[in-house]
Structure 1
Amino acid sequence: MPLWTLKGHTPKALGIKVFKKNDGAPYATPDHSSKKTRKNKQPSSDKASIYQLRIQLQDVEPPIWRCILVPSDIELEDLNKVIQTSMGWTNSHLHEFSNGKNAYVPSWELEDDLCDPGNSIAYEGLCLHQFLKRKNDLLRYEYDYGDSWEHLVVLEDIQPHRDGVILPVCIDGARHCPPEDCGGAFAYMNMLNVLKKPKHPEYKHIKSWLGGPFDAEAFDLYEVNDLLQQPNFGLLEWED
């Protein structure tokens, strides 16, 4: 029996296929049948391992989560963008990583007094492997200090470096992220409950606020990976 068994594949534009070990741990490998290569590759050193991360939004049921592969030396600045695109956020609010002791934020949040300076550190130049070193190590990631979307980022597996592997890549996930500015986890759960009841007094208001169809169960792995291959990992560049 071969060591690696086929799990599936991402869009051909990625130039990779996703495999998993017999124990279920997935990894990505070059797909030499594709002539297309990534336009904006996330650089990684020759010694960088491959980290398999599970990112799960907290306080929401059923779970909203993604499983991604990234180089162990990815900088937190880029990891933020990968999380944003993988989850479906728009990177239009403040954010921070936390290890339970300090918060790690963009330097401009510190310069503009947008966070607590007492325990906040600028994250530019800091790499993921400085925080996650062993399986099950974790970071917390908060997006939008108003709605306070808390995510748990867990290191599920560590794979050895492989030449030609294109990273980052999302290999699995479930459900659509909540709409931006909907009020946080409690408000989102209430919104889902109302949308199941067309006669609810808030139903028309919420439908109007959404501005169109919203499928909480939708998750398109191919679309996420297509975006991750684009400049800035598929995110718009916000101007000051």
Structure 2
Amino acid sequence: MPRQIYQLKVTLADVLPTVWRRVELPAAYTLDRVHRVIQHAMGWQDYHLHSFEVDGVQYGDPDPDGELALRDELDVRLDAVAHKGTRLLYTYDFGDWWEHDLVVEDVFAAEPDERYPRCVAGERACPPEDVGGAFGYADLLVALRDTQHPQHAELRSLVIRGFDPEAFDPGRATTLLRRLA
């Protein structure tokens, strides 16, 4: 039987204009590998904790202190908890609280000559790390657009040189994803 591929649309919640990615990855990936796909496709740096929620059950790195009731993501395959049409919630950085809506848009047989995972589409740059979540990012965008804004220079210096909130290159994201394969 040919290898099954899941097409996921990953949308960053509460951010306007919308930041999203469409990725294709093996259905047999465990949730820890799905986490790494999201990190590379979105442009995050994997500095912070994360979790998945599927049908009210949370998955992630087990908490050694027992404060977070997470099932171990290493033990759970994507195809065991999701099918076409399933919605998952992925939260990254429990301080800034970046929520991502994941939708399994399609399930199909792998193309014989194609390498997976890959990013096939998306829009807009991922917000920089540690900007204060969706509201902090909205403030950052306002300050970056307005050279007269009192925080323009300060915030400009905090952002990665050349940061363009409108830019996204799926080919570059796919290059980063190939390191996972």
Counterpart residue type for residue 85 of structure 1: H
Partner of 1:124: 74
**In structure 2, C-alpha distance between the alignment counterparts of 1:229 and 1:211, rounded to whole Å:** 24
| Cα offsets for 1:87-125 (capped at 9, x unmatched) | 000111000000141210113xx1144x522xx211112
If asked which structure has higher relative contact order (CA below 8 Å, sep 6+), I would say: 2
Partner of 2:173: 224
Q: Identity rate of aligned residues, in percent?
A: 35
Q: Runs of 4 or more off by more than 6 Å in structure 1?
A: none
Structural mapping, 1:61-100, within 5 Å: 61-100=16-55
Relative distance call for 1:168 and 1:103 in structure 2 (3 A) is same
Secondary structure class of the residue paired with 2:75: coil
Alignment equivalent of 1:207, drawn from 146, 156, 163: 156
Partner of 2:5: 50
| Cα offsets for 1:187-232 (capped at 9, x unmatched) | 10111011111111111111122253320011112211111112x4
Instruction: Name the structure with the higher helix share.
Output: 2
Structural mapping, 1:49-198, within 5 Å: 49-107=4-62, 110-113=63-66, 115-117=67-69, 120-134=70-84, 136-198=85-147
Alpha-carbon offset, residue 47 of structure 1: 4.7
Counterpart residue type for residue 102 of structure 1: V
8 Å CA contact 2:96, 2:132 repeated in 1: yes
8 Å CA contact 2:83, 2:107 repeated in 1: no
Gaps of 5+ in 2: none
**In structure 1, C-alpha distance between the alignment counterparts of 2:73 and 2:143, rounded to whole Å:** 40
**In structure 2, C-alpha distance between the alignment counterparts of 1:106 and 1:219, rounded to whole Å:** 29
Alpha-carbon offset, residue 161 of structure 1: 4.0
Alpha-carbon offset, residue 63 of structure 1: 0.7
Greater Rg, structure 1 or structure 2? 1
Count residues with an aligned counterpart.
181
Gaps of 5+ in 1: 1-45, 234-240
TM-score w.r.t. the length of structure 1 is: 0.71
TM-score w.r.t. the length of structure 2 is: 0.93
Counterpart residue type for residue 66 of structure 1: R
| Cα offsets for 1:44-73 (capped at 9, x unmatched) | xx5531111100000001110000111111
Query: Which shows bigger deviation, 205-214 or 120-129?
Result: 205-214
**In structure 1, C-alpha distance between the alignment counterparts of 2:58 and 2:100, rounded to whole Å:** 14
